[in-house]
């Protein structure tokens, strides 16, 4: 069976950045299961996996624009500490959700200076060229329920 829209695909992968530093690896948490063609994965990787089958191994480089997008400097903002409900435990790297006109956005604290806090709404991997080393483990049909939920059920997926 080949990877195609609405198939459940199980992959082992290692993700590194341009300098060879490992960003994420299925060695740490087991294979990734996703449904092809519905936006579970970054578009660049879905495209490379289309038509592949169990046992196929591929090494692909995905430019930031087909990965987590280019960095958008307008998502970086300095806000006064007084706008935070609490500044207790406020530290660099902390993440929280904010309401924006475009909906909820996860932002990270990138700088704390005096009374000002810089928050960045870019995905941590925005602007990063992604190097994937992927092995397809299994391809199967998604169940109607999985398609309705938009995610994989069972081992390696959602349990509910």
CB of 160 to Zn ion, least distance (A): 6
Residues 91-150 that bind Zn ion (CB under 5 A): 149
CB 126 within 8 A of CB 71: yes
Q: Is 158 in the site for Zn ion (CB under 5 A)?
A: yes
What is the Cα–Cα distance from 141 to 119, expressed in whole angstroms? 41
Is 132 strand, coil or helix?
A: strand
Q: Is 156 in the site for Zn ion (CB under 5 A)?
A: no
What is the Cα–Cα distance from 76 to 107, expressed in whole angstroms? 9
Site size toward Zn ion, by CB under 5 A: 2
Specify the residue for token string 């987590």.
68
Q: Is 81 in the site for Zn ion (CB under 5 A)?
A: no
CB of 21 to Zn ion, least distance (A): 34
CB of 8 to Zn ion, least distance (A): 12
Q: State the alpha helices, DSSP H only, in the chain.
A: 26-29, 43-49, 144-149
List residues binding Zn ion (CB under 5 A). Answer: 149, 158
């Amino acid at each position: 069976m080949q990877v195609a829209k609405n198939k459940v695909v199980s992959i082992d992968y290692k993700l590194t950045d341009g300098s060879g530093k490992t960003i994420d690896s299925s060695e740490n948490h087991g294979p990734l299961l996703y449904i092809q063609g519905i936006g579970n994965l970054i578009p660049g990787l879905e495209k490379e996996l289309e038509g592949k089958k169990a046992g196929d191994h591929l090494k692909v480089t995905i430019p930031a624009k087909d990965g987590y997008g280019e960095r958008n400097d307008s998502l970086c903002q300095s806000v006064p500490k007084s706008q935070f409900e609490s500044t207790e435990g406020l530290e660099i790297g902390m993440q929280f959700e904010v309401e924006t006109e475009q909906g909820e956005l996860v932002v990270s604290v990138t700088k704390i200076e005096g009374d000002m806090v810089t928050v960045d709404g870019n995905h941590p991997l925005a602007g990063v060229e992604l190097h994937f080393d992927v092995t397809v483990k299994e391809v199967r049909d998604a169940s109607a329920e999985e398609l309705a939920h938009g995610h994989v059920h069972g081992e390696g997926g959602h349990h509910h």
